[in-house]
Amino acid sequence: MKLIATVLLFVSLASASTTATRSNAFGAVIPTENRNVYMYGSVIGGTIFARGEREFTSLRVQPFHTPSLYDEDILLCGDRSNDFEGMAGPIVITYDRTAHEMVEGIGCYNLVEVNKVVPKGIK
Protein backbone atom coordinates (compact mmCIF):
# COMPACT_ATOMS: atom_id res chain seq x y z
CA MET A 1 0.00 0.00 0.00
CA LYS A 2 2.88 2.35 0.79
CA LEU A 3 4.38 1.60 -2.61
CA ILE A 4 1.17 2.58 -4.40
CA ALA A 5 0.89 5.77 -2.36
CA THR A 6 4.51 6.63 -3.14
CA VAL A 7 4.01 6.06 -6.87
CA LEU A 8 0.85 8.19 -6.87
CA LEU A 9 2.70 10.96 -5.03
CA PHE A 10 5.51 10.99 -7.62
CA VAL A 11 3.02 10.94 -10.50
CA SER A 12 1.09 13.88 -9.07
CA LEU A 13 4.30 15.90 -8.57
CA ALA A 14 5.79 15.09 -11.98
CA SER A 15 5.31 17.32 -14.96
CA ALA A 16 6.43 16.45 -18.45
CA SER A 17 5.88 17.59 -21.98
CA THR A 18 6.41 15.85 -25.30
CA THR A 19 7.15 19.12 -27.06
CA ALA A 20 9.07 21.93 -25.48
CA THR A 21 10.00 25.36 -26.74
CA ARG A 22 13.50 26.70 -26.51
CA SER A 23 13.94 30.12 -25.04
CA ASN A 24 16.26 32.71 -26.53
CA ALA A 25 17.30 36.30 -26.01
CA PHE A 26 14.56 37.62 -28.31
CA GLY A 27 11.71 35.76 -26.62
CA ALA A 28 10.77 34.10 -29.91
CA VAL A 29 9.26 30.63 -29.93
CA ILE A 30 11.58 28.13 -31.59
CA PRO A 31 9.95 24.83 -32.61
CA THR A 32 11.79 21.69 -31.61
CA GLU A 33 10.32 19.40 -34.28
CA ASN A 34 10.82 19.28 -38.03
CA ARG A 35 7.76 20.73 -39.76
CA ASN A 36 8.64 19.25 -43.16
CA VAL A 37 8.09 15.94 -44.92
CA TYR A 38 10.60 14.86 -47.59
CA MET A 39 9.62 12.54 -50.45
CA TYR A 40 12.54 11.21 -52.51
CA GLY A 41 11.49 9.60 -55.78
CA SER A 42 10.03 10.19 -59.23
CA VAL A 43 6.66 11.69 -60.12
CA ILE A 44 4.73 9.10 -62.15
CA GLY A 45 1.45 10.99 -62.47
CA GLY A 46 -0.28 14.20 -61.62
CA THR A 47 -3.57 16.04 -61.96
CA ILE A 48 -4.68 19.61 -61.40
CA PHE A 49 -8.31 19.94 -60.29
CA ALA A 50 -10.58 22.53 -58.73
CA ARG A 51 -13.21 22.49 -56.01
CA GLY A 52 -15.13 25.74 -56.10
CA GLU A 53 -12.66 28.61 -56.30
CA ARG A 54 -9.68 26.54 -55.05
CA GLU A 55 -7.21 24.53 -57.16
CA PHE A 56 -5.26 21.48 -56.05
CA THR A 57 -2.39 19.38 -57.38
CA SER A 58 -2.61 15.62 -56.95
CA LEU A 59 0.69 13.74 -57.41
CA ARG A 60 1.58 10.06 -57.67
CA VAL A 61 5.16 9.50 -56.57
CA GLN A 62 7.29 6.36 -56.93
CA PRO A 63 9.58 6.55 -53.86
CA PHE A 64 13.13 5.32 -54.39
CA HIS A 65 14.17 1.91 -53.06
CA THR A 66 10.60 0.61 -52.91
CA PRO A 67 8.89 -2.09 -55.02
CA SER A 68 7.66 -0.76 -58.37
CA LEU A 69 4.03 -1.57 -57.48
CA TYR A 70 4.21 0.80 -54.51
CA ASP A 71 3.49 4.49 -54.97
CA GLU A 72 2.31 7.35 -52.79
CA ASP A 73 -0.27 10.05 -53.41
CA ILE A 74 0.33 13.62 -52.26
CA LEU A 75 -2.33 16.34 -52.45
CA LEU A 76 -0.85 19.84 -52.63
CA CYS A 77 -2.80 23.06 -52.11
CA GLY A 78 -2.95 25.19 -55.26
CA ASP A 79 -1.80 24.62 -58.85
CA ARG A 80 1.87 23.69 -58.33
CA SER A 81 2.55 22.33 -61.83
CA ASN A 82 5.13 25.05 -62.57
CA ASP A 83 7.29 23.81 -59.67
CA PHE A 84 7.65 20.42 -61.38
CA GLU A 85 8.49 21.61 -64.92
CA GLY A 86 11.78 20.11 -66.13
CA MET A 87 12.03 17.86 -63.05
CA ALA A 88 12.33 14.44 -64.70
CA GLY A 89 14.10 11.71 -62.78
CA PRO A 90 14.86 11.66 -59.09
CA ILE A 91 13.64 14.65 -57.08
CA VAL A 92 13.06 15.57 -53.45
CA ILE A 93 9.64 17.05 -52.72
CA THR A 94 9.50 19.02 -49.47
CA TYR A 95 6.08 19.89 -48.05
CA ASP A 96 4.54 20.86 -44.71
CA ARG A 97 3.79 18.02 -42.32
CA THR A 98 0.46 19.58 -41.31
CA ALA A 99 -2.47 19.57 -43.72
CA HIS A 100 -3.71 23.12 -44.24
CA GLU A 101 -7.06 22.36 -45.81
CA MET A 102 -9.41 19.41 -46.30
CA VAL A 103 -10.74 18.36 -49.71
CA GLU A 104 -13.46 15.73 -49.51
CA GLY A 105 -11.90 14.42 -46.29
CA ILE A 106 -8.32 14.41 -47.62
CA GLY A 107 -5.75 16.89 -46.36
CA CYS A 108 -3.84 19.10 -48.78
CA TYR A 109 -0.32 20.22 -47.96
CA ASN A 110 1.66 23.36 -48.75
CA LEU A 111 4.61 22.70 -51.04
CA VAL A 112 7.88 24.10 -49.68
CA GLU A 113 10.22 23.25 -52.59
CA VAL A 114 11.21 20.71 -55.23
CA ASN A 115 14.87 19.78 -55.74
CA LYS A 116 16.38 17.78 -58.58
CA VAL A 117 18.77 15.03 -57.46
CA VAL A 118 21.86 14.38 -59.58
CA PRO A 119 23.07 10.78 -59.08
CA LYS A 120 26.75 10.16 -58.28
CA GLY A 121 29.09 10.20 -61.25
CA ILE A 122 26.81 12.36 -63.43
CA LYS A 123 27.77 15.97 -64.02
User: pLDDT for 56-102, tens place per residue?
Assistant: 999 999 999 888 889 999 999 999 999 999 888 899 999 999 999 99
* Of 88, 89, 91, 52, nearest in space to 74 by CA: 91
Average pLDDT for the chain:
84
pLDDT at residue 13 tops 60:
no
**Pairing relationship of beta strands 72-77 and 101-103 according to DSSP bridges:** unpaired
State the DSSP H helix or E strand holding residue 10, giving kind and residue range, or none if neither. helix 2-13
pLDDT in tens, 21-62: 566 777 787 777 899 999 999 999 999 999 999 999 999 999
Domains of the chain: 36-116 (2.40.50)
